[in-house]
């Protein structure tokens, strides 16, 4: 039995791809090795989005090949998809380059790598059914912490933001059929998952590629169908392009509390001129109205966003507009990135390039301005009794935290996996990672919230 070791890189969408490749290989008789030293094949699921991530992926290939010269190294993921011909020449350390448009072909690529047959396999994009070519619904191994899983509802993107290389890598939008998504969610729930994180490049566009065929789709309809699933679980929506925000979901979320009032809306900038240059339709005022609409429909609504600094042509005035937007938006969580000039993107040729130092300084200034805003937003939950997802037992170095009993780390609905703070849970009873419990938030500690678990059986 051949053995593989997979090293996942990059974003959560890549994580689902990694899980999919592992599930497909497991089903075709391969075994996962816990350590690269035990494997016949080392698979690196790379990221090809921005310079830093690309370099990390290449360094990983060089590192593994240096440590295990006798083993085969397969480079999969976005970097391989985007630069297959360049890498085939410049990166001989990668024995095989495998694209990410039809992951069901990973077995072919893996065996070819072992046999030394061919160096590249970049399949054509599969149709929606094969978006990311998930192995049979729900059977993939899960790389998330207990109780949580990502569910990809679409692949690719048609929005064409001028700074973004993802459409070049992931192709045009392909939405998965709703019945496949629901079946996968059902199977994950049957496996004990209690948090389903729906992902795509832009959930707001779900179904836009199928409406032409007249099939009834769209995010609201998908959520209505998911709300017919039985059980106590969470559904979180990650990445909705604010220009495509489907308002009807607000009512659906208000009526079914299993849909979390958590919205990841990448606004990117607060200057109308820069938003235009980014090929975005919205403006600061429409974005502020959207935030207000969400918060009046769902008073507990939590909003995460992303800003980009240093976009070509960004003046000091544009930057001040971004700071002003940030101050008015009062976002719960914010990630900030400095612009990365990516070839073949529309923005690549734009004039008015902003020096890296200025872009980085602007990024730092926004991050500093966001700290008190996030902490103020977090305090909104102090004193509240809320559901908490327990993720792992926690043994602090020194008993820095008040209260007796066991300590666990987990998350409230207001904290998405891996990007937002944690819930630090004190409990008089043993808790089971991967379960939802009730707790009372009693304090904030930095970007974490301290929660006292309520006795089991307390409503
Ligand atoms: S919505 Fe824009 S930023 Fe997001 S993947 Fe699509 S093109 Fe890229």
Confidence of residue 457 (pLDDT cuts 50, 70, 90): low
Pocket test for ligand 1, best of 164, 268, 337 (most atoms within 8 A of CB): 164
Fold of 385-453: OB fold (Dihydrolipoamide Acetyltransferase, E2P) (2.40.50)
pLDDT tens-digit series, residues 369-415: 999 999 999 999 999 999 999 999 987 765 454 455 789 999 999 99
- The answer, yes or no, to whether any atom of ligand 1 lies below 6 A from the CB of 164, is yes
Closest atom of ligand 1 relative to the 170 alpha carbon: 5
CATH of 3-121 given 3.40.50.300, 3.40.50.12160, 4.10.80.40, 3.20.20.70: 3.40.50.12160
pLDDT of residue 405: 75
The residue whose CA is least distant from atom 2 of ligand 1 is: 161
Pairing state between β 448-453 and 436-445:
antiparallel
Name the pTM for this structure.
0.93
157 C-alpha vs ligand 1 centroid, how far in Å?
6
pLDDT of residue 129: 52
Task: Collapse the DSSP code of 341 into the 3-class scheme (helix H, G, I; strand E, B; otherwise coil) and give the result.
Answer: coil
- The answer, yes or no, to whether any atom of ligand 1 lies below 6 A from the CB of 166, is yes
The count of other CB atoms within 10 Å of the CB of residue 192 is 12
- The answer, yes or no, to whether any atom of ligand 1 lies below 6 A from the CB of 242, is no
pLDDT tens-digit series, residues 134-169: 444 457 899 999 999 999 999 999 999 999 999 999
Whether pLDDT at 126 is above 60? yes
Task: Collapse the DSSP code of 151 into the 3-class scheme (helix H, G, I; strand E, B; otherwise coil) and give the result.
Answer: strand
Closest atom of ligand 1 relative to the 205 alpha carbon: 1
In this structure, what token pair is assigned to residue 334?
């914010």
7 C-alpha vs ligand 1 centroid, how far in Å?
25
pLDDT of residue 217: 56
pLDDT tens-digit series, residues 224-233: 999 999 999 9
The residue whose CA is least distant from atom 8 of ligand 1 is: 164
- The answer, yes or no, to whether any atom of ligand 1 lies below 6 A from the CB of 156, is no
48 C-alpha vs ligand 1 centroid, how far in Å?
14
How many residues comprise the chain? 459
Whether pLDDT at 212 is above 80? no
192 or 217, which is more confident?
192
Closest atom of ligand 1 relative to the 167 alpha carbon: 7
pLDDT of residue 181: 94
367 C-alpha vs ligand 1 centroid, how far in Å?
22
118 or 331, which is more confident?
331
pLDDT tens-digit series, residues 410-448: 999 999 999 999 999 999 999 999 999 999 999 999 999
Whether pLDDT at 361 is above 70? yes
238 C-alpha vs ligand 1 centroid, how far in Å?
13
215 C-alpha vs ligand 1 centroid, how far in Å?
24
Confidence of residue 69 (pLDDT cuts 50, 70, 90): very high
- The answer, yes or no, to whether any atom of ligand 1 lies below 6 A from the CB of 281, is no
CA dihedral 272, 283, 208, 347 (to 10 degrees): 20
Closest atom of ligand 1 relative to the 157 alpha carbon: 6
Whether pLDDT at 289 is above 70? yes
pLDDT tens-digit series, residues 172-182: 999 998 999 99
The count of other CB atoms within 10 Å of the CB of residue 156 is 23
281 C-alpha vs ligand 1 centroid, how far in Å?
13
pLDDT of residue 136: 47
In this structure, what token pair is assigned to residue 240?
């909705």
The residue whose CA is least distant from atom 4 of ligand 1 is: 201
Pocket test for ligand 1, best of 167, 168, 268 (most atoms within 8 A of CB): 167
Whether pLDDT at 215 is above 70? no
CATH of 128-379 given 3.40.50.300, 3.40.50.720, 3.80.30.20, 3.40.718.10: 3.80.30.20
- 219 — alpha (psi -120 to 50), left (phi > 0) or beta? alpha
Q: Determine the Cα–Cα distance for residues 26 and 453; give it in Å rounded to an integer.
A: 38
In this structure, what token pair is assigned to residue 411?
């998350």
- The answer, yes or no, to whether any atom of ligand 1 lies below 6 A from the CB of 159, is yes
Q: Domain residues of the chain, as ranges?
A: 3-121, 128-379, 385-453
pLDDT tens-digit series, residues 240-288: 999 999 999 999 999 999 999 999 999 999 999 999 999 999 999 999 9
pLDDT tens-digit series, residues 94-124: 999 999 988 999 999 999 999 999 899 998 8
Whether pLDDT at 171 is above 60? yes
pLDDT of residue 49: 84
160 C-alpha vs ligand 1 centroid, how far in Å?
6
Q: Determine the Cα–Cα distance for residues 422 and 439; give it in Å rounded to an integer.
A: 14
- The answer, yes or no, to whether any atom of ligand 1 lies below 6 A from the CB of 160, is yes
pLDDT of residue 133: 47
- The answer, yes or no, to whether any atom of ligand 1 lies below 6 A from the CB of 202, is yes
166 C-alpha vs ligand 1 centroid, how far in Å?
6
Q: Determine the Cα–Cα distance for residues 355 and 362; give it in Å rounded to an integer.
A: 11
270 to 202, 246, 264, 320: CA distances (angstroms): 20, 21, 16, 9
Q: Determine the Cα–Cα distance for residues 108 and 131; give it in Å rounded to an integer.
A: 18
- Closest listed residue to residue 50, CA positions, set 435, 362, 310, 327: 310
What angle do helix axes 248-255 and 284-297 make, rounded to 10 degrees? Answer: 20
10 or 18, which is more confident?
18
297 or 216, which is more confident?
297
132 or 222, which is more confident?
222
Q: In what order do the strands lie in the sheet with 234-237?
A: 148-152, 195-199, 234-237, 259-264, 302-309, 333-338
- The answer, yes or no, to whether any atom of ligand 1 lies below 6 A from the CB of 154, is no
pLDDT tens-digit series, residues 33-58: 999 999 999 999 999 888 888 999 99
In this structure, what token pair is assigned to residue 312?
């070509």
pLDDT of residue 137: 46
Beta strands (DSSP E) in 176-293 are 195-199, 234-237, 259-264
Question: Residues 291-316: what's their mean pLDDT?
Answer: 98
């Amino acid at each position: 039995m051949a053995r593989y070791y997979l090293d996942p890189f990059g974003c959560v969408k890549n994580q689902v791809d990694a899980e999919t490749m592992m599930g497909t290989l497991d089903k075709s008789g391969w075994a996962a090795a816990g350590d690269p030293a035990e494997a016949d094949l080392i698979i690196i699921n790379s990221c090809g989005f921005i310079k830093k991530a690309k370099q990390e992926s290449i360094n990983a290939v060089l590192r593994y090949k240096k440590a295990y010269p006798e083993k085969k190294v397969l480079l999969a993921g976005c970097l391989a998809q985007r630069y297959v011909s360049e890498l085939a020449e410049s990166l001989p350390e990668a024995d095989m380059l495998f694209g990410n448009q039809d992951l069901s072909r990973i077995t072919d690529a893996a065996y070819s790598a072992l046999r030394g047959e061919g160096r590249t396999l970049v399949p054509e994009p599969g149709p929606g059914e094969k978006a990311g070519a998930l192995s049979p619904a729900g059977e993939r191994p899960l790389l998330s912490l207990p109780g949580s899983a990502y569910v990809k509802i679409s692949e690719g993107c048609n929005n064409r933001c001028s700074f973004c290389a993802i459409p070049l890598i992931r192709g045009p939008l392909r939405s998965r059929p709703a019945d496949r998504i629901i079946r996968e969610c059902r199977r994950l729930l049957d496996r004990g998952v209690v948090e389903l994180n729906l992902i795509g490049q832009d959930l707001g566009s779900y179904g836009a590629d199928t409406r032409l065929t007249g099939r009834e789709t769209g995010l609201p309809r998908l959520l209505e169908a998911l709300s017919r699933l039985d059980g106590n679980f969470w559904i979180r929506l990650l990445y909705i392009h604010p220009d495509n925000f489907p308002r009807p979901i607000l009512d659906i979320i208000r009526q079914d509390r299993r849909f979390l009032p958590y919205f990841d809306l990448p606004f990117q900038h607060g200057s109308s001129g820069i938003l235009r240059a980014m090929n975005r339709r919205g403006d600061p005022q429409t974005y502020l109205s959207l935030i207000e609409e969400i918060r009046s429909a769902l008073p507990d609504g939590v909003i995460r966003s992303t800003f980009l600094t240093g976009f070509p042509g960004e003046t000091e005035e544009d930057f001040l507009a971004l700071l002003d937007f940030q101050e008015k938006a009062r976002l719960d969580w914010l990630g900030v990135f400095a612009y990365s000039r990516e070839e073949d993107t529309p923005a690549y040729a734009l004039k008015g390039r902003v020096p890296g130092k200025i872009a980085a300084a602007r990024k730092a200034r926004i991050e500093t301005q966001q700290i008190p805003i996030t902490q103020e937003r977090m305090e909104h939950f102090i004193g509240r009794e809320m559901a908490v997802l327990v993720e792992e037992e926690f043994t602090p170095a020194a008993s820095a935290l008040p209260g007796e009993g066991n300590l666990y780390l987990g998350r409230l609905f207001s904290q998405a996996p891996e990007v937002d703070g944690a819930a630090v849970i004190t409990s008089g009873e043993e808790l089971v990672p991967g379960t939802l419990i009730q707790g009372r938030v009693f304090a904030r500690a930095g970007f974490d919230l301290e929660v006292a678990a309520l006795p089991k059986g307390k409503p």
